Amino acid sequence: MIMKLNWFVRKGLFYRPVTIMGWIILAAAVVFAVYTFIDINNTSHSVSDVLINFVFNLLIIGLFYTLIAYVSEKKPARVE
Amino acid sequence: MNYNSNEMNEQDEFLKQMENLQVPGIDPPSHQKTVKMAIMNAERSAALGVWLIIVPCYFLFCVFMYYYSHMQGSWFGAMFKLMTGLLADKPYMDYLAPVILVVLPIICIIINALAIIHVNTRQLSPDKQRVKEFSVTIKVKLWNIVLILLSLAVVLTFIGYVMTENISIKN
């Protein structure tokens, strides 16, 4: 029996949180992205270096967020 | 009167003939419209597929920009330099590159293929029990097909890179 979580709702490519748990996950992703940016900014030597590394990390964070949202989203009624 | 009775007889015969006509039989199972359900939802698979393929695409875009701006060396040389530059400080570098460039695109291919492919086996007729028909149906969903092709391109690029590196190391 698969547990229905219903934490997110898909809007096109993106997932919008609809429960407190969903918002906590989104907040954690944003906080981690900010932390990553500060960390990269401290160790990089140029703006392009910061952006190249940060965008890469941001995409990976977005991928993990989407994976979590994908398995815990509110599934639409199946119509084929 | 005689003329009328003749006409009546002809009509009766005609009606009898019409009643005895053999109507072609309709075989309902063969005309059944089958509902072809895919295993996964096409739109959900496309949404996740975009995120799965955007990371390797960004990496390949960086490789392209590096190659375009430096112009010395080969495309794969640029890929190697970027891989060591962009991912070198990560402790999990050994696993990250294959995961990004092979595992993610393969997952993308699988979920999108499951969303558009329908496979079915059925018997051709009740008389021929051993003869079975195997049919594969592919739904034409543009985004899913584009994502599958992009993922294939990324995987093949990485395989090309690995083969070139191995050949150059051996020589």
Asked if A66 and B47 come within 8 Å (Cβ–Cβ), the reply is yes
Counting residues of chain B whose pLDDT is more than 70, the rounded percentage is 71
Q: Between B22 and B13, where is the model more confident? A: B13
Residue with tokens 């989104």: A26
- Residue B121: the pLDDT is 79
Domain residue extents for chain B: 36-170
- From chain B, the residues in CB contact with A80 under 8 A are 35-38
Confidence of residue A80 (pLDDT cuts 50, 70, 90): very low
- Answer whether residue A34 shows pLDDT above 90: yes
Amino acid occupying residue A32: F
- pLDDT confidence of B137, banded at 50, 70, 90? confident
Across residues A45-61, what is the average pLDDT? 84
Determine the distance in angstroms separating the CA of B37 from the nearest CA of chain A, rounded to an integer: 7
Cβ distance of A63 and B37 shorter than 8 Å:
no
A52–chain B Cβ distance below 8 A for any pair: yes
Angstrom distance (rounded) from CA B45 to CA B31 = 32
* Nearest-neighbour CA in chain A from B58: distance (Å): 7
Q: Which two tokens stand for residue B41?
A: 């939802």
Q: Which of B35, B58, B89 sits opposite A55 (nearest CB)?
A: B58
What's the average model confidence in pLDDT over A44-54? 81
Q: Give me chain A's average pLDDT, please.
A: 85
| Long-range contacts of B7-10, Cβ-Cβ distance < 8 Å, separation of 24 or more | none
